[in-house]
Amino acid sequence: MKLRFDDSVEAFRAEFLEWLAVNRPPAEAIEADPPRSSAYIPEWAASFTRRMFDDGWLVPGWPPERGGRNAGPIETLVYLEELNKANVPRTTNPQGLGIIAPSLLDYGTEEQIENYAMPLLRGETSACLGMSEPDAGSDLANLKTRAVRDGDNFIINGQKVWTSGANFADFCFLFCRTDPDAPKHKGISIVLMPMDTPGVTVRPLTEIISPEYPDLNEVFLDDVVLPVSNLVGELNNGWAMANGSLAHERSMVWLMGVMGMESSMNELLAEAPALLASLSAAEQATAADDIAGLYIDTVASRCLGYRGFARYVKTGSAPEQALMKMYSTEIRRDLLQIAAELRGPAALPTGLSRHGAVGSLDAYFTTFGGTISAGSSEIQRNIVAERVLGLPRG
Amino acid sequence: MDLELSDDQFELRDNIRSVLEGACPPSVVRAVYEGQGTSAELWQQMVELYWPALGVAEDAGGLGMGFVEVGLLAEELGRAAAPGPLLAMVTQYIPMVEAAGAADPLAAAIAGETIGALAYAENGRWEPAAVAASAEGSGDAWSVTGTKGAVLGGANADVFAVVARTAEGLGVFLVERSDAAVDVPALLDPGLELADLEFAAAPATVLLAPGPDAEAVIDAVASQASVAMALHVIGACRRIFEVTLDYAKVREQYDRVIGSFQALKHRFAEMYLAVERANAVGYYAALAIAEDAPDRAEAVHVAKAAAGDCQRLLAQDGLQLHGGIGYTWENDLHFLLKRAKSGDVLCGGRGFHRARLAALLGLGEAA
Ligand SMILES: Cc1cc2nc3c(=O)[nH]c(=O)nc-3n(C[C@H](O)[C@H](O)[C@H](O)COP(=O)(O)OP(=O)(O)OC[C@H]3O[C@@H](n4cnc5c(N)ncnc54)[C@H](O)[C@@H]3O)c2cc1C
């Protein structure tokens, strides 16, 4: 165990900070056109992505021709931390950069990489992830959208739901059933679907907060024709690939949860003395105890995350990572609830600018995006119990 | 930053664990509980292994290991619910004697010739403000008057390092057992060997001369002891978790193992989180102490408070999920339950450390 990073890591950090100081998108530009959807790319984001790509700072762990510099995992961690500290959004298309591009690099053809992955990495396009359906939520393998082979094409019919960013994305990483007779997990394939293909209808779903800026969508697919060359990887191997690409995400996604929690906690601590000043002594004691408990969780999420990361780097897997999804999203929810309660009626005003603000109920409600999506907290508990602790399924 | 134990640290932990599995199985703990045996033989074995000297600097005759390693020992002792003075020696008395630079008492302690205990808390309060015991004197002739409660390892101690108040502030004084009134009440967990002490103008020698320097040392030693106790509690809790999980995999009801019920699976996921959460912040605090990190004070309170959260859940669900068998004296589970609960209230309980943390965070007084 040690608290310091090696000198070489510190040198890497310094180099990145120097680059970031020159190349970061101007705060006024971000404020004028903020990240508000999972696939909408403001002008400043497109050019920032391009600069990161060109200078090897987009995905530091990748080779230079893919926007990286062959950095190690610890360097990547430091890079993500510094971006967060500087309050610079790394991407406005997290599914594209975090899941879809890496999956294409792993499983796609040369042509798919050239036509779909590289434009994503250069900030020219954005992509959405079409997994969930009305009857396939937690039980994703139950998906029914059909892709039927017809000569050199697939004909696709079905419906997706909760597709983040489908209203802005250029293409969709679409999960379909290609073998209805195989067991659930063995008949699923992934196809690349340009969103302007005839037969694709996108209907935005207004959300619980900020109905004027929907990010979730229903996507209806009626006789959508796609060339067979848009199949990603092997036919009927979609489930295995999905687990592979999500693993990419999980090795680092904990850090976002931890850093989000830390910045909310810092904000709360900065405001707490003023908020507590107007309370009675008994209320103050309760509030102080609530905040102290959340502070413990903040420290614990960092320590657990870092320890799991160290284990992951050493051995390629870490049980902590299964805990981190449910833990980091639930403590963030709890923190934003306490912060809003402390603020009383001042927590009630609503609007886009208040999404992330500690102490608004807007912020509290948006945390459920974390506890429900990408495997709900309940599903995470099942996973921990069955895969980490070895309790029997069923 | 690397928060994973190093290979050497894992090896040390495994060594300690296997020694304790041999030397301190539940039958040894049971013998102490049932008055059929004492901790003396176990203590002798530990002395022969130089465990009392684990964290003592090499030039003072110790093994020169860091505080993380001391934490590993404290955790493993909790896992075994080990009876005897080692925990008190390694995490309280010896660090105080070493910090005071008292070569002779230190040499006697690590050689196992004297058993010492740190007498700090009064009325259950583990904090300087609670110290009412007083010392008077000068040079080498002092006397101590007052009471100390729940002194860890006090039952079999030969000498007490007593924190007492003087006109110059707090100091630490050595009092021989024969000069104190020692009361050993019947305890939930006899292995902790807690004692209540009374001093009536007891003759004493000075270990740490009273004043601001002594107060800083007392604070540092008390902080280390709190973190070590946190890890000790966590060790007991992790073992509770393991035996409860094992039981849930074999105990059948309604024609299936009880661990296949989702209601219980989710409780196991919660317990696992509570143990890992406490463990992660516990070792973070140990590392913060070892490397004197700027957030070390917060880390200490976080660690002991998180251990408190952990034992609340693990003692409760560990017992509950065993059903009736967990409610019996015959089953070994209760040694761990009692160690976890007892450890929580020593060195400041969950509520104490949460309030201290809140005060450090600027959220009001710690009073
Ligand atoms: C903000 C947001 C963004 C999203 N973005 C995308 C996206 O881009 N692409 C995409 O494909 N999907 C996306 N989703 C969908 C998301 O993955 C699903 O909502 C999620 O998998 C849960 O499915 P469901 O909504 O159908 O709930 P259900 O599966 O119906 O679950 C309802 C409740 O039952 C519980 N439950 C279900 N099964 C079990 C079980 N076995 N044991 C215990 N409890 C259980 C759940 O935890 C939940 O509390 C997004 C969702 C949200 C909220």
pLDDT tens track for A265-292: 999 999 999 999 999 999 999 999 999 9
Extract the tokens encoding B295: 């957030």
pLDDT band per the 50, 70, 90 thresholds, residue B365: low
Instruction: Name the CA dihedral angle for B265, B266, B267, B272, rounded to a multiple of 10 degrees.
Output: 90
User: B30: closest CA among B360, B367, B332, B354?
Assistant: B332
Burial class (CB in 10 A: 0-12, 13-18, 19+), A301: buried
C-alpha pair distances (Å), B93 with each of A42, A205, B52, B319:
63, 65, 10, 33
State which residue of chain A sits closest to B264, comparing Cα positions: A385
pTM of the model: 0.96
**pLDDT tens sequence across B14-39:** 999 999 999 999 999 999 999 999 99
For A185-211, give the DSSP string. GGSEEEEEEETTSTTEEEEEE--SS-T
B contacts of A293 (beta carbons < 8 Å): 354
- The answer to whether A274 faces chain B, any CB pair under 8 Å, is no
Q: How many CB atoms lie within 10 A of CB A206?
A: 12
Question: Which stretches in chain A have pLDDT values below 50?
Answer: none
CA of A387 to the centre of ligand 1 (A): 20
Interface test with B, best of A13, A255, A268, A296 (most B CBs within 10 A): A296
Q: Indicate the helix (H) or strand (E) that contains B137.
A: strand B134-138
User: Assign residue B143 a region: left if phi > 0, alpha if psi is -120 to 50, beta otherwise?
Assistant: beta
In the three-class reduction of DSSP (H, G, I as helix; E, B as strand; rest coil), residue A260 is classed as helix
For A36-90, give the DSSP string. -SSS---HHHHHHHHHHHHHT-SSTTS-GGGT-----HHHHHHHHHHHHHTT--S
* Residue range B192-206: mean pLDDT, rounded: 98
Q: Where are the domains of chain B?
A: 7-114, 118-209, 215-360
Buried b (16+ CB within 10 A) or exposed e, B277-313: bbbbbbbbbbbbbbeebeebbbbbbbbbbbbbbbbbb
What is the reported pLDDT for A243? 83
- The answer to whether B297 faces chain A, any CB pair under 8 Å, is no
For B267-333, give the DSSP string. HHHHHHHHHHHHHHHHHHHHHHHHTT-TTHHHHHHHHHHHHHHHHHHHHHHHHHTTGGGGGSSSSTH
DSSP letter at B194?
A: -
Residue A261 contacts residue A297 (beta carbons within 8 Å): yes
Whole-angstrom distance, CA of residue A80 vs CA of residue A86 = 10
Q: Per the CB < 8 Å rule, is B1 touching A276?
A: no
- The answer to whether B6 faces chain A, any CB pair under 8 Å, is yes
Placement of tokens 């762990």 in the chain: A61
Residue A139 contacts residue A162 (beta carbons within 8 Å): no
- The answer to whether A282 faces chain B, any CB pair under 8 Å, is no
What is the reported pLDDT for B178? 98
Q: Residue B121 is which amino acid? A: A
Residue A13 contacts residue A82 (beta carbons within 8 Å): yes
User: A79: closest CA among A88, A257, A328?
Assistant: A88
Burial class (CB in 10 A: 0-12, 13-18, 19+), A242: buried
Burial class (CB in 10 A: 0-12, 13-18, 19+), B1: middle
Phi, psi of A299 (to 5 degrees): -65, -45
State which residue of chain A sits closest to B247, comparing Cα positions: A391
Whole-angstrom distance, CA of residue B211 vs CA of residue B188 = 37
Q: Per the CB < 8 Å rule, is A2 touching B262?
A: no
Residue B116 contacts residue B161 (beta carbons within 8 Å): yes
Whole-angstrom distance, CA of residue A293 vs CA of residue A288 = 9
B contacts of A310 (beta carbons < 8 Å): 2-4
- The answer to whether A85 faces chain B, any CB pair under 8 Å, is no
Residues 37-76, chain B, touching A (beta carbon < 8 A): 68
What is the Rg, in whole angstroms, of the alpha carbon atoms belonging to chain B? Answer: 20
B359 pLDDT above the threshold of 70: yes
Name residues whose C-beta falls within 8 Å of residue B360's C-beta, 6 or more positions apart in sequence. B297, B298, B301
Q: Per the CB < 8 Å rule, is B68 touching A1?
A: yes
CATH placement of domain B7-114: 1.10.540.10
C-alpha pair distances (Å), B59 with each of A153, A180, B53:
79, 74, 11
Q: Per the CB < 8 Å rule, is A393 touching B260?
A: yes
Alpha helices in B80-211 (DSSP H): 86-88, 94-99, 103-110
Residues found in chain A: 394
B325 pLDDT above the threshold of 60: yes
Extract the tokens encoding A240: 């295995």
* Residue range B162-169: mean pLDDT, rounded: 97
Name residues whose C-beta falls within 8 Å of residue B149's C-beta, 6 or more positions apart in sequence. B121, B122, B123, B124, B196, B197
Q: Indicate which atom in ligand 1 lies nearest the CA of residue A140.
A: 21
Q: Residue A263 is which amino acid? A: S
User: Assign residue B173 a region: left if phi > 0, alpha if psi is -120 to 50, beta otherwise?
Assistant: beta
B contacts of A304 (beta carbons < 8 Å): 276-277, 280
Superfamily of domain B215-360: Butyryl-CoA Dehydrogenase, subunit A, domain 3 (1.20.140.10)
DSSP letter at A317?
A: -
Residue A331 contacts residue A297 (beta carbons within 8 Å): yes
Q: Residue B135 is which amino acid? A: A
Number of A/B CB contacts below 8 angstroms equals 145
**pLDDT tens sequence across B78-98:** 999 999 999 999 999 999 999
C-alpha of B304 from chain center: 11
Strands B134-138 and A127-130: unpaired
What is the reported pLDDT for B367? 39
Residue B233 contacts residue B310 (beta carbons within 8 Å): yes
Pocket (CB within 6 angstroms of ligand 1): A 95, 129-132, 137-138, 162-164, 216, 369, 372-374, 376, 378-379, 382
Q: How many helices (DSSP H) and strands (DSSP E) are in chain A?
A: 14, 8
In the three-class reduction of DSSP (H, G, I as helix; E, B as strand; rest coil), residue B367 is classed as coil
C-alpha of B319 from chain center: 22
Tell me which residue has its CA closest to atom 39 in ligand 1.
A379
Quick one: CATH architecture of B118-209?
A: Beta Barrel (2.40)
Residue A295 contacts residue A241 (beta carbons within 8 Å): no
Whole-angstrom distance, CA of residue B141 vs CA of residue B133 = 17
Burial class (CB in 10 A: 0-12, 13-18, 19+), A92: buried
User: B201: closest CA among B266, B141, B130?
Assistant: B141
* Residue range B173-179: mean pLDDT, rounded: 98
- The answer to whether A255 faces chain B, any CB pair under 8 Å, is no
B contacts of A378 (beta carbons < 8 Å): 266
- The answer to whether A393 faces chain B, any CB pair under 8 Å, is yes
Mean pLDDT of chain B: 97
> Hey, CA dihedral for B219, B223, B228, B230, is it positive or negative?
positive
Any bridge partners for residue B2, and if so which? A2
